[in-house]
Amino acid sequence: MKTNIINTQPASGFRDLLPKEKIFKQWCIDTISCVFSKYGYDSIETPSLERLEILEGKSGEEFNKLIFKIAQRGDKESEDPDLGLRYDFTVPLARFLAEYKNKLPKIFKRQQIGPCWRAERAGKGRFREFYQADIDTIGSKSLLVEVDTILALSEALNKIGLNNLIVKINSRELLQVIMDLYKIAPEKQNDCLVALDKFYKIGKDGVVQELVSRGFNKQIGEDIVDILSDTTLLRKKIELNELGAKSLKDIEQIVNLVNNNTKYAIAEFAPFIIRGQDYYTGIIFEIYSGDIPGSMAGGGRFDNLISIFSDDNNIPACGGSIGVERVVSVLEELGINSITNIQPKILVSVWDNTMTFDALNIATKLREQNLQTELFVGDEKIGEQLKYAVNSGCKYCVIYGPDEKNKKEIIIKNLETKEQQNIPLLELTNFHF
């Protein structure tokens, strides 16, 4: 009798994917990447591990707490962690650009899709290991970059099955103007923004209460919420502030450009969109789908981030990200978890051991046509092979027994419709699966 049986469940916040789940997730990733490529974003790859000094350079204290830290082993053994798993792609991108800036074009558009890790509390749709799909444009201050980013992300989300997309747009510069106008001390500004970020969940009264609990004057809290809730009041409050007026004008221009250049989303000004990362410097945005709670994608401008790893202090940058696990979970909840437009899977059955060579030859011919083809390798009879084909997600089963060999025919059975056709063996490679 076995004792001390090891728990085979994945660690908390991590998960296994069965073949069907992996196929769907990969299809989502491939679809997103294809859209990104259409918009001119080139793929790059950076290591999963970065030096801690890189990851802790510009992410903010809250994000620093989320880093999975690792002590080096091998040539340089240490008990103290000096490496960390990336928690997103943005900070590694900054290091990448600093390292290879002389090999890259002046305006560089990149995409990167892969796993990231955060040591945070796991929950529904929230994992410690998760895939992100990022795009970024480096080297341009044009508002067209923000527009292009939003258009690409919106189309990608639509192509994988998300509709009724809403893009909520704000500006960190505008928020900074409000902080300054109300003389919010620098060390208290983050507390204020954290409270304001909850507006769409808890409303005005909840935000004001949150601000009071964080040590802010109640009247100031109410005034800030009221002004941000009313565009007319906001415009009047900041009309004499050059940066504030410019920020609001930028938002309105981006909203207009997005709404006139995409059928996939509707953009709107959302003054309580904050986004948590400290590195954002200008326009920020989040993309939502219908009545589904939580954002599907988000991003913004981070003009100062690249400079922390470079002597050049003037490198503009803007980007956005889709949380792949998040959108896959949402699609599954909506019942969109299968793919109808991918190449069907085919099982080539093996009648008996006398037909092994023939079956392998048939499978080879189908594979040469770039068809997804599996050769049955068990010893079960045809009936069991058909059951296996269905359970394995095959749409077709190819049957070639002694009778078919004598007739120089082959049977193509559609496992979904239960229909089957006898066709000449020589026409197999021309059959439309």
- The total of other beta-carbon atoms located within 10 Å of residue 292's CB is 15
User: Quick one: DSSP state of residue 123?
Assistant: B
Rg of the Cα atoms in the chain: 27
Cα 187 from chain centre: 32
Give the mean pLDDT of 352-369: 94
Q: What per-residue confidence (pLDDT) applies to 2?
A: 62
Dihedral sign (CA 404, 406, 409, 410): positive
Q: What per-residue confidence (pLDDT) applies to 340?
A: 60
Cα 190 from chain centre: 26
Confidence tier at 411 by pLDDT (50, 70, 90): very high
Confidence tier at 62 by pLDDT (50, 70, 90): low
pLDDT above 70 for 216 = yes
Residue whose tokens read 């690249």: 306
**pTM score, whole prediction:** 0.85
Cβ-contact 129, 115 below 8 angstroms: yes
Confidence tier at 4 by pLDDT (50, 70, 90): confident
Q: Where in the chain is the domain with CATH 3.30.930.10?
A: 19-333
Give the mean pLDDT of 344-349: 93
What are the beta bridge partners of residue 169? 269, 285
pLDDT above 80 for 337 = no
pLDDT above 70 for 255 = yes
Least confident segment among 131-135, 182-186, 202-206, 335-339: 335-339
Contacts for 247 with CB less than 8 Å, ≥ 6 apart: 171, 173, 174, 177, 282
| Distance from the first to the final alpha carbon of the chain | 51
Q: Where in the chain is the domain with CATH 3.40.50.800?
A: 346-430
- The total of other beta-carbon atoms located within 10 Å of residue 383's CB is 8
Q: What per-residue confidence (pLDDT) applies to 74?
A: 63
pLDDT, greater one: 363 or 341? 363
19-333 maps to which CATH number?
3.30.930.10
**Of the candidates 251, 240, 232, 258, the residue with the CA atom closest to the CA atom of residue 175:** 251
How many degrees, rounded to 5, is the angle at CA 94 between CA 91 and CA 95?
Answer: 95
Token pair of 361, please?
């030859």
**Strand-strand pairing, 42-43 and 108-117:** parallel
Average per-residue pLDDT for the chain:
90
Q: How far apart are CA 256 and CA 247, in angstroms?
A: 14
Q: Give the tens place of pLDDT for each residue, 29-42.
A: 999 999 999 999 99
pLDDT above 90 for 420 = yes
Q: Give the tens place of pLDDT for each residue, 137-147.
A: 999 999 999 99
346-430 maps to which CATH number?
3.40.50.800
Confidence tier at 60 by pLDDT (50, 70, 90): low
Give the mean pLDDT of 388-415: 94
pLDDT above 90 for 415 = yes
104 phi and psi angles, rounded to 5 deg: -110, 155
Q: Largest Cα–Cα distance in the chain? A: 92
pLDDT above 80 for 247 = yes
Q: What per-residue confidence (pLDDT) applies to 418?
A: 93
Q: What per-residue confidence (pLDDT) applies to 101?
A: 84
